[in-house]
Amino acid sequence: MKSALITGITGQDGSYLAKLLLEKGYRVTGAVRRNSQTEIARLQRLGIADDITFVDFELGEINNITRLIRGTAFDEIYNLAAQSFVGSSWEQPIYAADVNGLGVARLLDCIRTYTPQARFYQASTSEMFGLVREVPQSETTPFHPRSPYGVAKVYGHFITVNYRESFGLHASSGILFNHESPLRGPEFVTRKITLALARFARGEHVPVDLGNLNAQRDWGFAGDYVEGMWRMLQQDKADDYVLATGVTTTIRDFVRFAAEALDLDLEWSGEEMTEMAVDRRSGKVAVRVNPKFHRPAEVDLLLGDSSKARGTLGWQPKVTVRELAAMMARADYDGWQG
Ligand code: NDP
């Protein structure tokens, strides 16, 4: 039986990855932060919380990481823990650097010292591309991150590459484009949209305020993406891979897809900064632009080229963005507790 450690197991990806590994017969250890109340709601929702061994973990604390890595021989270690919300990274840039950047070095150095045979996955991100240098973006596209989150993740990416090249670790970095699900945190734009529209469709007519509706993202389903993470660690040779759908969609179109799934009939009007969508049936505003939600430095267009992962790993996403928006909107509609 293989054993895996997942940091960030309480998050969206950690939950789906834990489910996948359990289905494959792994023994799964979940590294969780000690909070006043440990949040395992996502794992409970997937029905797997009881199958996981939980250990206390904080990516900012070297002693804690050392004890964990020294004490157990894991076959695979997935580092998904991060301060993962771009918006918060402008408020907490030092913390983002410490956890998303230096935290990776802490983990890798313990692996190098105590368990160099373990295979390591680092959760890198398309936010490292930031300012558009080329479209689509692949493993060879230069990075130009546009947020403290992205800058810290670039460090995490390169320290992973460096430990692979310097010490021969089986360390891979997955450069993942946005991936969502009904388990996505409510602060992320897709879930913010589906939660608000589900509430609206249930008759609670409160508009959702959004930032730049023209921002374009390459959105896939988290369940598909964790399969790609696992495949990376099954290769003889560690490497870096982009996972993406290759389809980019504006935030406005994501709203449209979610609204369609909920049978809402939206009419759009106004210019970029004053744009809004009114529900034709109720006559109420369902969506409006609020400049407060524009990022200090915007990432305008993310579109990934995942041909390397498709060719080498045999990976491909199964859920389209339209299906994803509908899946999330319906889950929020069904789960609505007004
Ligand atoms: P989530 O925000 O859902 O989960 C983040 C996880 O990290 C949570 O379990 C959280 O614990 C944990 N965590 C945060 N800070 C610390 C810390 N200091 N020490 C230990 N654990 C910590 O993110 P996702 O599941 O969506 O993403 C997983 C990873 O993939 C992240 O690294 C993210 O940056 C990256 N990524 C995500 C993409 C996406 O579209 N989802 C795209 C590309 C990369 P707690 O529950 O206590 O908050």
Check pocket membership of 55 for ligand 1, CB cut-off 6 A. Answer: no
> What does the pLDDT look like over 188-202, one tens digit per residue?
999 999 999 999 999
C-alpha 207: how far from its chain's center?
26
Q: Which atom of ligand 1 is the closest one to the Cα of 7?
A: 21
The question of whether 16 is a catalytic residue gets the answer no
The residue contributing the CA closest to ligand 1 atom 5 is: 11
Short-list 317, 111, 302, CA closest to 214:
302
Q: Which long-range contacts (CB under 8 A, 24 or more apart) does 160-168 make?
A: 160/104, 160/108, 160/120, 160/122, 160/124, 160/240, 161/240, 163/108, 163/109, 163/111, 163/112, 164/238, 167/112, 167/116, 168/116
Return the bridge partners of 170, or none. Answer: 119
Asked if residue 136 has a cis previous peptide bond (ω within 30° of 0), the answer is yes
> What does the pLDDT look like over 106-125, one tens digit per residue?
999 999 999 999 999 999 99
Please tell me the distance from the alpha carbon of residue 206 to that of residue 204, in angstroms, as a whole number: 6
* Residue 36 reports pLDDT greater than 80: no
Spacing, Cα 81 to ligand 1 middle (Å):
4
> What's the average model confidence in pLDDT over 133-139?
93
> What does the pLDDT look like over 299-337, one tens digit per residue?
678 899 999 999 999 999 999 999 999 999 999 999 986
Taking each helix axis as running N to C, give the angle between helix 189-201 and helix 321-335, from 0 to 180 degrees, rounded to the nearest 10: 50
Check pocket membership of 58 for ligand 1, CB cut-off 6 A. Answer: yes
Please tell me the distance from the alpha carbon of residue 57 to that of residue 45, in angstroms, as a whole number: 22
Backbone angles phi, psi at 229, to 5 degrees: -60, -50
Check pocket membership of 123 for ligand 1, CB cut-off 6 A. Answer: yes
More confident residue, 293 or 81: 81
β-pairing verdict for 3-7 and 119-125: unpaired
The residue contributing the CA closest to ligand 1 atom 35 is: 123
Check pocket membership of 11 for ligand 1, CB cut-off 6 A. Answer: yes
State ipTM: 0.99
> What does the pLDDT look like over 203-212, one tens digit per residue?
999 999 999 9
The question of whether 125 is a catalytic residue gets the answer yes
> What does the pLDDT look like over 226-249, one tens digit per residue?
999 999 999 999 999 999 999 999
Q: Can you give the pLDDT at residue 338? A: 58
Spacing, Cα 32 to ligand 1 middle (Å):
11
Please tell me the distance from the alpha carbon of residue 201 to that of residue 203, in angstroms, as a whole number: 5
The question of whether 225 is a catalytic residue gets the answer no
